[in-house]
Structure 1
Amino acid sequence: MSELENIIQSTSNYQEDNIVTLEWQEHIRRRPGMYIGKLGDGSSSDDGIYVLLKEVLDNSIDEYMMGFGRTIEVVIEGETVRVRDHGRGVPLGKVIDVCSKMNTGAKYDSKAFKKSVGLNGVGIKAVNALSSHFFMQSVREGQAKGVEFHQGILSQENPIAPSEEGNGTLVEFVPDAGIFGPYHYREEHIAPLLKNYVFLNTGLTILFNGQKFYSKNGLVDLLNENLTSDLLYPIIHLSGEDIEVAITHTNQYGEEYYSFVNGQHTTQGGTHLTAFREATARIIKEYYNRNFEYSDIRNGMVACISIKVEEPVFESQTKTKLGSKEMSPNGISVSKYINDFLKKELDNYLHKSTETSDILQKKILDSEKERKAIAGVTKLARERAKKANLHNKKLRDCRIHYNDSKGDNRDDTCIFITEGDSASGSITKSRDPNLQAVFSLRGKPLNSFGLTKKIVYENEEFNLLQAALNIEEGMDGLRYNKVIIATDADTDGMHIRLLLITFFLQFFPDLIKKNHVYILQTPLFRVRNKKKTLYCYTEEDRLSAMKELGPNPEITRFKGLGEISPDEFRHFIGKDIRLDKVSMRKEDLLKELLEFYMGKNTPERQNFIIDNLVVEESA
């Protein structure tokens, strides 16, 4: 066929019926990632089912911020979520439109919602479209109206009727399992979300399944909730009309920040966090009138900033990074507003609180002293790591990275840290080279407990790992969203896990606190017959598989990752990958945690091991 005939054929195949206009709900259902990020099963805090909950809560919070409704009730029973606020209630004649008409909402009129999170009129519509059941009822001045939808399609409209309930809005929804797959709401991810809401809205009460969340001290409570190291000085708490900050230092390495815009947790920071980090360091430097390095001033800093911006611009629908450069349209810049506030308030605080300023100066001087002491070592180590990266046999890199400015798959990037050539070889042959990197350890890494950061640079393995992750200058450069420890499920493998976790906790605690570190689960057994193969992660799985497959199945015990063939390994690091997140709780004080597990063999730890010893049944 000639080129002309090809063009004619292509044109004839492209007619009016090829142009499809989707209903609003169908577009959201076909492209949920555009509206709520990833889907997920509820095992991760950024899974879509929590975004749906948050979209509903944001509307209730906006009512509170406008001065209406001091209590929000949240009930989650199985898959059903109910949120009832006591705000003004949606205007009764607009209940259907608010639920189902795109670009419909009160927040376009900044007189009604000056500093709201949701400005695109999509949030509650996305919840509706992605739910198998959705119900909204509004109560205003003794009258109520309710509407019900299924998969975004109106199924019932109740007429306006008298009601004895107080003003407010009730939203009930069930995320659609046809889109999300099997899922489960987990309290461990819901509680931090609700706590942040009350920390940022002092005086607000949230009732969740019988629990009460309330904060009296705002961001001070937030920092205390998240601190896992002892404070060097009392938290500095400063607030203005549209800004609130809390600042302190600990003896941990690195920097740790929590940033918010209009109550939205901007986990990826943005213009406000960049301005805050720069202004804080500069103002502290100017206060002491010393030529301090910014890195020494910020080392060990734990801080929080919350600002309110009129008509904020975020860099994605999930609103995790602020893009706004101005506090309001044609107004003062975010950077200048934060700098002017801190220049006055933080400087005044340091002048008045000399005990705090003396402690802070000592911390900065200690950081400076350590940095200068290892300056020569770090320079040589960086050069060595740079050369090694050109031909680094330890690192089999991937093509897409977490710190890429663009990339739809950046959240799926990961690096497997493995032991030995056989394990790394199996993963390397079966991985996705676009998104999955592999770093191979040579035996057991050094126990870094109680050592200074000098060992990170003197120890070749740690230095190359730090360089591979690109975290020497902070989390902004992190190259992989998930850092996955992949070791054998034996005592040596467990020890290597502890040594690596100790290294991260000691020198890069934010890596764990920001949920980047995971343990890879791999099967302990393969049970199969001629018709079926089952992989078993526990002894219970093995017994169940033997029962399912009948008499005399073939049972293989995997004693190490290297024994699993690349063809089989592909199943365990693909879409069905099983990961255990390494996380820290408020009560896990870093110093005590490391002392217990990685210090000298104390009787306390020996007793703990004996009391918690698990004896594996023989196969």
Structure 2
Amino acid sequence: MAKSSSVSDYTEANIRTLSPLEHIRLRPGMYIGRLGNGSHPDDGIYVLLKETIDNAIDEFTMGFGKRVEIHLADRSLYVRDYGRGIPLGKLTECVSIINTGAKYDSETFKKAIGLNGVGQKAVNALSLEYRAQSIRDGKSRLVEFYQGKLKKEGKIIDAPAGERNGTLVEFTPDPDEKLFGPDFRFRPEFIEEMLWNYAYLNRGLTLVFNGKSFRSDNGLKDLLAKKLTGEPLYPMIHLEGDDIEIAMTHGGHYGEEYYSFVNGQHTTMGGTHLAAFREALVATVRNFFKKDYEAADIRQSIVAAVSLRVMEPVFESQTKTKLGSNNMGPEKDSPSIRQFVSQFLQQHLDNWLHRNSEAADAIKAKIEASERERKELAGIRNIARERAKKASLHNRKLRDCRVHLDSKDKRAEDTTLFIVEGDSAAGSLTACRDVQTQAVFALKGKPLNTYGLTKKVIYENEEFHLLQSALNIEDGIDGLRYNRIIIATDADVDGMHIRLLLLSFFLQFFPELITNHHVYILETPLFRVRNKKQTIYCYSEAEKQAALHKLGQSAEVTRFKGLGEISANEFKDFIGENIRLEKVTLDHLHNADDLLKFYMGKNTPDRQDFIISNLRVEKDLVEA
């Protein structure tokens, strides 16, 4: 039995005082949220870039600098703005000493994104190498750091002739194992998505990334036009006022889809401003039509973007993904966000509906169609719930985990549901999963093709109803129990078909799971190459050849035909820290309806012709 610690073991020597730099590097999650390796858009390396660009955006908002240049070279980022430039005498302090900056002075930065003087210091502290240069009125100064420690502090010198005012920041995230790790990499598509959001929210600003320009002339209207994956039911509503901009329409899909922003920050987790919009929308529509419609029927199929400018916003974390402020400003007489948004919609949306009677009629028809479907589902839903209660006593489809997304546990964001085909794969995965955060849902075969069907099928089909119940998304994704939904099927024709059927189901009934980045595809190895000393798992033919070159042509090669063939001891390597995931997105899709119709509809001759025209045999692929 281990000896218990005594009071004498706890002394003054156990007490430590960390410097700000040490604290940031020891507890990076408090400053940038997650670390990650760059495979997720919320990973820390993108937060470092965002914190750097935010400073340039604040300058633009104050009327200085209409261009920001970003360049990615390998794993280093360069950001150049043309604002006023950091005051040269305080350059070192502004990028290295926490709680130092101009944003405490509300006259200088009235509605800035960051207000606590932490962001750029965190970028510096979490970078292997960091350099900042400021140019002001023909003078320049350069400072350089290594792992947050000052390496070189240049003197104030004359700037090159013609060099414009502004700030230049260049950094390389630290590949230390305790930070971003040696395998991190930036994904240009995530950076481009971030830059588009900046462009939509800052009309007149041009951002240039590796030579590609990002600019918007119509603000949130352009954002929705890019995000829409089907035809809207009526022309887009675009409303603007002091400190607020809203764009919205209804589509033909199920669910609600929102993009919310505060002071230019993409609040992916919403907050008080989004809650205020959803509530005010319902109140305004009810008042306009003089009918007490259900809130869910009014918001069904909505696609909307909401942007607010707030004085000294309070976010629920340093990563600023959820607004916590209740008021538009810190003053006692400042209106609440709820009042502000409500008054704006009651005036401007009501006016728009009066001026656009055809669109108003389309909205009314959509609400009433949703109402009819909801009532039709009521009886079926009750029967399905009773059936599910009985089935759940014996059903072993779901091997649940202990932590869920809606809990306050620090690992809530790690919660994952793996959807697998068959009991064999489920058994291997269940045996090696993390029981705290990883759950497994086993399909019994190929699920039903839901294309063209109504939501009634979810309640008539036991498997889909149990999946919906496991995810807890019957009434929307606010109660979602897992942050990641990972489709884990075999890498064969049947596995690909099941994958398409599941994606079709999510696109048809719960597209917000995809637009909110909750759905992923699990990449599993195709080959195992090993000799007596080393084992290498390969995810492609090219990786297999590289492994054979390394271990020798005599190495043993195993081809995995299905997940059920992979032992639990091996499987744990593929669902832990080394997990390979492909995020499912709609970013490059212009019309989800057309895509589903072609691949999942009953247009068999068209698909057949397409397959014949594009068929390539294995010999051709190898030669290519």
Distance 2:513 2:417 in 1: 13
2:465 is the counterpart of 1:463: yes
Aligned with residue 114 of structure 1, among 106, 110, 113? 110
2:142 is the counterpart of 1:133: no
Distance 1:240 1:141 in 2: 35
Distance 1:339 1:424 in 2: 49
* Residue aligning to 1:211: 212
Q: Is the 8 A contact 1:137 1:146 kept in 2?
A: yes
Aligned with residue 173 of structure 1, among 171, 174, 187? 171
Q: Is the 8 A contact 1:399 1:433 kept in 2?
A: yes
Question: CA 1:354–1:542 in structure 2 vs 1: closer, same or farther (change >3 Å)?
Answer: same
Cα displacement (A) at 1:118: 0.8
Distance 2:552 2:79 in 1: 48
Give secondary structure in 1 for the equivalent of 2:618. coil
1:388-443 deviation digits (Å, cap 9, x = unpaired): 44554111111111122x22211111101111111111111111010000111111
* Residue aligning to 1:144: 140
Per the normalisation by structure 1, the TM-score is: 0.95
* Residue aligning to 1:532: 534
Alignment-mate amino acid for residue 463 of structure 2: E
* Residue aligning to 2:71: 75
Cα displacement (A) at 1:288: 0.6
Alignment-mate amino acid for residue 51 of structure 2: E
Question: CA 1:384–1:270 in structure 2 vs 1: closer, same or farther (change >3 Å)?
Answer: farther
Q: Which runs of 5+ in 1 are unaligned?
A: none
Q: Is the 8 A contact 1:528 1:553 kept in 2?
A: yes
Alignment-mate amino acid for residue 433 of structure 2: R
Distance 1:107 1:383 in 2: 57
Q: Is the 8 A contact 1:71 1:206 kept in 2?
A: yes
* Residue aligning to 2:372: 369
Q: How does 1:325-474 map to 2 (within 5 A)?
A: 325-329=326-330, 330=332, 331-389=334-392, 392-404=395-407, 406-474=408-476
Question: CA 1:597–1:34 in structure 2 vs 1: closer, same or farther (change >3 Å)?
Answer: same
Distance 2:376 2:324 in 1: 39
Cα displacement (A) at 1:153: 0.8
Q: Which runs of 5+ in 2 are unaligned?
A: none
Q: Is the 8 A contact 2:264 2:307 kept in 1?
A: yes
Q: How does 1:270-285 map to 2 (within 5 A)?
A: 270-285=271-286
Cα displacement (A) at 1:159: 1.1
Q: Is the 8 A contact 1:429 1:566 kept in 2?
A: yes
Aligned length in residues = 613
Alignment-mate amino acid for residue 451 of structure 2: F
Question: CA 1:478–1:613 in structure 2 vs 1: closer, same or farther (change >3 Å)?
Answer: farther
Distance 2:216 2:557 in 1: 55
Alignment-mate amino acid for residue 137 of structure 1: Q
Cα displacement (A) at 1:601: 4.8
Q: Is the 8 A contact 2:228 2:590 kept in 1?
A: no
Distance 2:470 2:503 in 1: 16
Distance 1:523 1:206 in 2: 39
Distance 1:589 1:64 in 2: 34
1:222-269 deviation digits (Å, cap 9, x = unpaired): 111111111111111111111111110001111000000000000000
Cα displacement (A) at 1:128: 0.5
Distance 2:270 2:395 in 1: 32
Question: CA 1:548–1:209 in structure 2 vs 1: closer, same or farther (change >3 Å)?
Answer: closer
Cα displacement (A) at 1:387: 4.7
Cα displacement (A) at 1:305: 0.5
Alignment-mate amino acid for residue 403 of structure 1: D
Give secondary structure in 1 for the equivalent of 2:362. helix
Q: Is the 8 A contact 1:225 1:586 kept in 2?
A: no
2:288 is the counterpart of 1:291: no
Give secondary structure in 1 for the equivalent of 2:140. strand
Distance 1:259 1:385 in 2: 36
Alignment-mate amino acid for residue 379 of structure 2: G
Alignment-mate amino acid for residue 118 of structure 2: V
Distance 1:57 1:563 in 2: 47
Alignment-mate amino acid for residue 67 of structure 1: G
Cα displacement (A) at 1:568: 1.4
Q: Is the 8 A contact 1:131 1:151 kept in 2?
A: yes
Cα displacement (A) at 1:585: 2.6
* Residue aligning to 1:94: 90
* Residue aligning to 2:7: 10
Distance 1:602 1:360 in 2: 34
2:263 is the counterpart of 1:266: no
